[in-house]
Amino acid sequence: MPPAKVSQHQRRGYIVPVGGAEDKDSNPTILERFVERSGGEHARIAVIPTASRLDDTGSRYEHIFQQLGASHARSLEYHRREDADRGEWLSYLKEATGIFLTGGNQLRISTVLGGTDVARAIRTANASGTTVGGTSAGAAILSEHMIAFGASGSTPRAGMASLAPGFGLTNKVIIDQHFRQRDRIGRLLAALAFNPFAIGIGLDEDTGAFIDAEDVLEVVGSGCITVVDLGGLEHSSMDMADEGDAICMTGIKMHLLDNGSRYDLKSRTAHPSAHR
């Protein structure tokens, strides 16, 4: 599913995948920046807690965003497909200046909201300038191809990653989260072996990628983002590998980017943070 078309004289809103476990209390830099990019004191944020099975997830983010200066925040409790038909919630979603999807299980988001007016509204809103972000599972769903589940480990192996359709806000990246904490470099490489067109974005916990309308990514948070670029891929054995086999890949470029660093997804160039 390609990204929604941006109309003339409009700019796409920020896309903000977060690696999970973002600091919500002592130093909520990522969520503060999300509020800022959503309009600051004028921000109206729609929280979508569909991925979570905890009853208080949505209300907790409502409180956090309001504490951080948003004028309004509301949790839209989409837990069954029929919830997507609620007109009042859809109206709030369309009027929001920021949309945030919480963590949990990304397949719950795709099975509950995939193909609904809610998913279409999120895509259209982002193409019209609304900031759309998510943490953990909410980050994975943002791209066209989503890692649904997979195994940990440093070596890419056939069958290590299972892909599913995401919301398709961008087709330039495949996102993985809790990246170094859960040793997910192998499954990101395995996912990219299916689709070398995309750039791999591995998000550490408490680390977010703020991707602007020009497809320039800025790192915000206490960890790193691992960028895996297969644009110069010379060889991949994925087509010959049996289930569980290690995958041979040559010609891979990788960057480790910390807070303030940038990466241009169009030119595939990395820029260290200014304090360097």
Please state, in angstroms and rounded to a whole number, the distance separating the CA atoms of residues 229 and 253: 5
> Is 110 in the active site?
no
Write out the H or E segment, with its range, that includes residue 211: strand 207-211
Q: How far is CA 136 from the centre of its chain?
A: 8
CB atoms within 10 A of CB 14: 23
Task: Determine which one of 205, 218, 236, 255 is catalytic.
Answer: 205
Parallel/antiparallel/unpaired status of strands 269-271 and 145-150: unpaired
Nearest Cα to 119, choosing from 156, 165, 173, 58?
165
> Is 52 in the active site?
no
> Is 136 in the active site?
yes
Task: Determine which one of 136, 143, 236, 261 is catalytic.
Answer: 136
Q: Is residue 88 classed exposed, middle or buried when 0-12, 13-18 and 19+ CB atoms within 10 A define those classes?
A: exposed
Which residues, listed in sequence order, are joined to residue 135 by a DSSP beta bridge?
18
Please state, in angstroms and rounded to a whole number, the distance separating the CA atoms of residues 247 and 95: 46
247 neighbors 189 (Cβ within 8 angstroms): yes
**Which pair of structure tokens corresponds to residue 108?**
């719950």
* Cα three-residue angle 91-212-264, rounded to 5 degrees: 150
Give the active site residues: 136, 178, 205
